[in-house]
Chain A
Amino acid sequence: MIEIKDLRKSFGDKVVIDDVSAVMEAGKANLIIGASGSGKTVFMKCLVGLFEPDGGEILYSGKSFTTMEEEERKELRQQIGMLFQGAALFDSQTVEQNVMFPLDMFTRLTYTEKLKKVNEVLDRVNLKDANKKFPAEISGGMKKRVGIARAIVLNPKYLFCDEPNSGLDPQTSLVIDKLIYEVTKEFNMTTVINTHDMNSVMEIGDHIIYMYKGEKEWEGSNKQIIYSNSKKLNDFIFASEFLQDVKAMRMVEAEGKVSNAKNDSQ
């Protein structure tokens, strides 16, 4: 579980994160949504300590991350997996070596065991036959998936994904969402995902935070998002007419269920 209290961050006099508080629970997919430039990446980087926040507190399972000693942070980070928006693969290493790197560094497994584990996760992200390729030789979407594989290979306690499915086709995107969701449940991870993919929001949004210009504008679950009356949120999520129609249909459907339930109980 990660608790965030009054987090603030500015660059110069530009306030990027403005007093955001939230609780990211374990075993749930915690989604941060918001327009491009709303501060999602900066928020995530503050959480993991790549940016020092100007104010506020971050607690990992009750322990204050903000005041932690460097050594203690290092230990905590060994339980963190992170996918960067640009994948951040080591470009002098092959796909296989990239995914194996955390295993090399932090486990005492034999090479065969490591290789088995690597192939397992690469398989889970739908990436076979790319083992020996270098990052420069694979597509953007493939890089993302290698990044995810590298982030989850050690079954971290905390998983951060910065736009895991931007640049992926809808089908692979679903596979990735499902994978992240599965490992979250399976290992009771605290997962934080930045996204603007509406499919993800609807499919895996256990807990959603909508950021608007650095502020938390709305918070709730994918069940609640349809009924929200925040205009900013509605404009953001249901931007196209198509999605507005979907929303209307869902609402009718849900009301139908409610009235059905009423009828049943009568």
Chain B
Amino acid sequence: MNFFNHFGRYLLMIKGMFTRPENWKMYWKELMHQCSDIGIGSLGIVVVVALFIGAVSTLQTAYQLVSNLIPKSTIAQIVRDTVILEFAPTISCIVLAGVVGSKIASELGNMRVSEQIDALEIMGINTKAYLIMPKILASFIMIPLLVIVAGVLGIWGGRLAGTMAAILSREEFDQGLLNGFQPFNVRFALYKAYTFAFIISSIPAYFGYFVKGGALEIGKASTTAVVASCIMILFADYVLAALLL
């Protein structure tokens, strides 16, 4: 199958999700379940990644700013902006593409291969709506929240590393944080988060939902899903930056 076949089937899958739920309560339950799976399930890794990325960016920014003419607080300013603009949304979403994406692809792939999807269809349930829609919605809810957490912790990690390595004092860091702060950057980060949330959930859902074969193919599908999501994230990252900045 070539790219256009995949893309067409992907669009049809998205279109197929929009039907009236057979039972709102069950859909709600599934949504809550996915929220906790996606949100709570990947909170740990996001925390770790964000802290280290913030810390490393403080150290490396300080290393690059050798001139004495530039005040120390500039380091905080740079860390703040790179974390908000790029590291918190993009890096955490690439990590999430691995964690959440492979989970979605293998869960749906397993359901396909063991005929659980067929069993749901036979009962008269729209499986695209019941299985895929809650995953996408849950990602829309949880991933921006995770990105916010990553942003806050990233900056905090940078502050911690900066003071621990005696690069700059807490006061200097905090002062830098407030210097020339643009609220738009946060909005931009959230635009990214929503876009990536859709990529991370819908692309793996596509590869999982249409698996053919057995356990081996499930593995392959989830690898393909993660790779495709990562590439799409980077591509969308570029497009958004080009359009909005």
A: which residues have CB within 8 A of B? 45, 48, 50, 73-78, 80-82, 84, 86, 88-91, 101-102, 104-106
Contacts and interface: CB of A to CB of B under 8 A. Distances in A.
A106 B23 CA distance: 7
Contacts of A90: 111, 116, 119
A84 B116 CA distance: 9
Nearest to B21: A105
Interface of B: 22-23, 25-26, 110-111, 114-116, 118-119, 121-126
Contacts of A101: 123
A78 B124 contact: yes
A74 B119 contact: no
Nearest to B125: A105
18 contacts: A50-B118, A73-B124, A74-B124, A76-B124, A80-B122, A86-B115, A88-B115, A88-B118, A91-B110, A91-B116, A102-B123, A104-B25, A105-B23, A105-B26, A105-B123, A105-B125, A106-B123, A106-B124
Ranked 9 nearest A-B pairs via Cβ: A77-B124, A78-B124, A88-B115, A88-B119, A82-B122, A74-B124, A84-B115, A105-B23, A50-B118
Nearest to B33: A92
Nearest to B123: A102
A88 B23 CA distance: 22
A77 B22 CA distance: 12
A104 B26 contact: yes
A128 B22 CA distance: 30
A86 B118 CA distance: 12
A166 B178 CA distance: 71
Contacts of B119: 82, 84, 88, 90
Contacts, number: 55
Nearest to A50: B118
A2 B114 CA distance: 27
A48 B124 CA distance: 11
B166 to A, nearest CB: 51
A75 B122 CA distance: 10
Contacts of B125: 74, 105
Given A105-B23, A106-B22, A86 B114 contact: yes
Given A84-B115, A105-B26, A106-B23, 5 more contacts: A50-B122, A84-B118, A84-B119, A88-B116, A89-B116
Nearest to B130: A105
A80 B124 contact: yes
A76 B22 CA distance: 13
A94 B116 CA distance: 14
A50 B112 CA distance: 12
B104 to A, nearest CB: 14
B87 to A, nearest CB: 34
Contacts of B111: 90
A84 B119 CA distance: 8
Nearest to A89: B116
A113 B116 CA distance: 26
By CB atoms of chain A within 10 A, which of B26, B124, B125 has the most?
A: B124
Contacts of A88: 114-116, 118-119
B138 to A, nearest CB: 15
B124 A104 contact: no
A38 B88 CA distance: 57
A75 B114 contact: no
A166 to B, nearest CB: 15
Contacts of B23: 104-106
A78 B114 contact: no
Nearest to B119: A88
A247 to B, nearest CB: 36
Contacts of A78: 123-124
Contacts of A77: 121-124
A163 B43 CA distance: 45
